[in-house]
Structure 1
């Protein structure tokens, strides 16, 4: 059995961006005397962080019988549903373009009546694709990850700049409010 998690660079970058975008809000709410109390914003930020972390806890599990996308037991089924396909059910891997011009791939199966998205932000993506080729017999020579690591490194660098701006914003809001 092989288990593949979302790449740490993707997880760290997106969690950091979430923090950078939301943490200043309660401070700004206090500074501007907003009608929403800051404690409510803090509750929303914590709940949102849990939801983002849950979405980023996706796992791809490959064994001798099937490919399965799953989430840890603490993630409610209504929030994120996984899926499973046996290797015999998979008949093709269809490419589709995204609205931004990227490429994504869907497993198709005549018995399943729908397509299943191949997870693309996985650590060990190439190894996962090689196992899929071995188990399913599908040609995956043209399959590439949706995003390259350098894209997330640039986003993380921008997030660090955002954190410095957040620090200045929080410092300004807390010192001028006194």
Structure 2
């Protein structure tokens, strides 16, 4: 008598969603455009704050922003979780995880600017966890949430529209052009 092992058609879910590249690029470009001229202007205006101090602050701020933008949303068979890079200090921003069985509902809330955000509400703690809406592949994330929780997600849309970030990125690039002119002027004065 032979024992045969049947192959199962069980599909194991494991997905990683990162913040959309256009959002990361836009925010990093804005950060650069807003901070790059500061050390040059400090030197040209004989500011009491040394340019080296500003360069250090800009570098530290850039690393922290890069860490925040390294947020990942991970979905697997048991849970959804939001994590940050291991090197990123947990006291600045902590991730979270929520088992699929703990999710009671998705609740809609309006933001101060009139936008809409969605929160997972858990059974056990009656706490709310923000549904990540700035990820690349948001529609796929929402479909997987619906598959795992049974919550109707057909009306859920991503908060930021891509065209808004393209416009913001274009504005940030224009600001960088002004920065280069400002840096050139500051260097010619110093």
| Paired position in structure 2 for 1:80 | 93
* Alignment partner of 2:34 out of 21, 42, 45: 21
Give the secondary-structure state (helix, strand or coil) at the position aligned to 1:156: helix
| CA deviation map 1:19-58 (0-9, x unaligned) | 0000100000001111100000000000000010011010
| Paired position in structure 1 for 2:138 | 125
Greater alpha carbon shift after TM alignment, 74-83 vs 57-66: 74-83
| Paired position in structure 2 for 1:69 | 82
* Structure 1 moving runs of 4+ over 4 Å: none
Match status 1:51 vs 2:32: no
Greater alpha carbon shift after TM alignment, 112-121 vs 142-151: 112-121
RMSD of aligned residue pairs (Cα, Å): 0.7
Greater alpha carbon shift after TM alignment, 116-125 vs 71-80: 71-80
Please identify the structure whose Cα radius of gyration is greater: 2
| Paired position in structure 2 for 1:110 | 123
Match status 1:164 vs 2:177: yes
Contiguous gaps of at least 5 residues in structure 2: 1-13
| Paired position in structure 2 for 1:98 | 111
Q: 2:182 & 2:79 partners in 1: Cα distance?
A: 50
Q: 2:125 & 2:81 partners in 1: Cα distance?
A: 14
Contiguous gaps of at least 5 residues in structure 1: none
TM-superposed CA distance for 1:112, in Å, is: 2.4
| CA deviation map 1:40-83 (0-9, x unaligned) | 00000000000100110100000010000011211121121000
- Give the TM-score, by structure 2 length: 0.92
Size of the aligned set, in residue pairs, is: 177
Match status 1:152 vs 2:152: no
